[in-house]
Amino acid sequence: MKNPVVKRAIILLLLGVLYTLPAATAFVRQWEADVIVPGPGVTKIRMLSDYYDGLKGTGGDTEVYIMEGKEPGGTMLILGGTHPVEPAGVLTGVVYIENGVVEKGRLIVVPQANRSGFSATEPGQGYPDHFNIKTEFGARRFRFGMRNTNPIHQWPDPDVYTHYLSGQKLAGAESGNLNRAHPGRPGVRLTEKIAYGIAELIKKEKVDISIDLHEAPPCRPLVNAMCVHERAMDLAAYAVMLLEMEGVTIRLEASPKNLRGLSHREWGDSTDTYAILIESTSPMHGPLHGPATEELILTAKDDVYVWASNIGRTVQKHTAEGVPIEVRVGRHTASIMALAQALSDLKPDRAIVISGMPTYQDLVQNGVGRYLKPIPQ
């Protein structure tokens, strides 16, 4: 190779490959599915595409864990990961899958509802691509994704996103937000297809209670709240009282009738289910947070939010203690148990009885890792 220009070009090319290789490896690693270890209560694992085959082979297809009791009763759906930047919902789903045993009725858990959003992180936010939960046998790794559907799977965004059922207009980027796409429709954008698959699941499995788990930053009005469709109000109010007795305070909010595309509105309007959305606290995806680190995901300790809270700019008081992940998963876990209890008391023929689950206090004292199983080799 006599030409010095070619030689220089090849060296530069090789240096470029060397420089981009770690980023490319991390990018591809994000496509690897998280390992979830089905516990003794899981009786079937299906895919969302079993309910709507238009999802087959797409980035939006996701596992549906079915846990059936020996005795008949009601059916409850738990959705985690509607927003993959809100980890308490995913972890709550996993804790149910790995520990719960249904004695009466059925539990259906979709831990990563917008599976596509787990395969990339939010551009420009500097989010970590995963976080670890410590256990006595080592760490369990979970992906931290983006709020919306991965643009690889749905692109480009329209300038204006119109919710097809209501004509409500939102910013174009909201077309990738699963919680603006309900009840969805077949054959269009992936996010709407995922929403359609979930609505089909609710109808085909005759789900009595459908719960969508989220986390909100301390400055948003829905933090530490349950947002409920009007038909589910009595049931949720009963559950809120049960939670109060357990030392968990949660606000009850009515689902606004004119805010469309959200799970607590559309599932309740388009199916017979009791539709409920539950929020815990996480500063990570709020507009004010400090460095976006794994520690922030796990502790919610954030000096910027403490400052904002001290000058009265948050809905929920945010202190230097933060809100550890075990408290957030504990709140979700206890809320689900309280809703199952409320349904069992109010409609005994649709009872749902779940054993094997940690209480709120168990999770706070022992941490989430105590309730995760070792990964089989």
Residues found near Zn ion in the complex (CB under 5 A): 83, 86, 214
- Quote the least distance from Cβ 216 to Zn ion, whole Å: 7
Please say which residue, 74 or 144, places its beta carbon nearer to Zn ion. 144
Please say which residue, 104 or 147, places its beta carbon nearer to Zn ion. 147
Say how far residue 362 (Cα) sits from the centre of its chain.
Answer: 22
- Quote the least distance from Cβ 16 to Zn ion, whole Å: 38
- Quote the least distance from Cβ 374 to Zn ion, whole Å: 30
- Quote the least distance from Cβ 179 to Zn ion, whole Å: 6
Please say which residue, 177 or 341, places its beta carbon nearer to Zn ion. 177
- Quote the least distance from Cβ 15 to Zn ion, whole Å: 42
Please say which residue, 83 or 260, places its beta carbon nearer to Zn ion. 83
Contacts of 292 (CB under 8 A, 6+ apart): 125, 126, 127, 128, 284
- Quote the least distance from Cβ 335 to Zn ion, whole Å: 15
- Cβ proximity of 329 and 95 under 8 Å: yes
- Quote the least distance from Cβ 145 to Zn ion, whole Å: 12
Please say which residue, 282 or 333, places its beta carbon nearer to Zn ion. 282
Please say which residue, 99 or 179, places its beta carbon nearer to Zn ion. 179
Please say which residue, 205 or 212, places its beta carbon nearer to Zn ion. 212
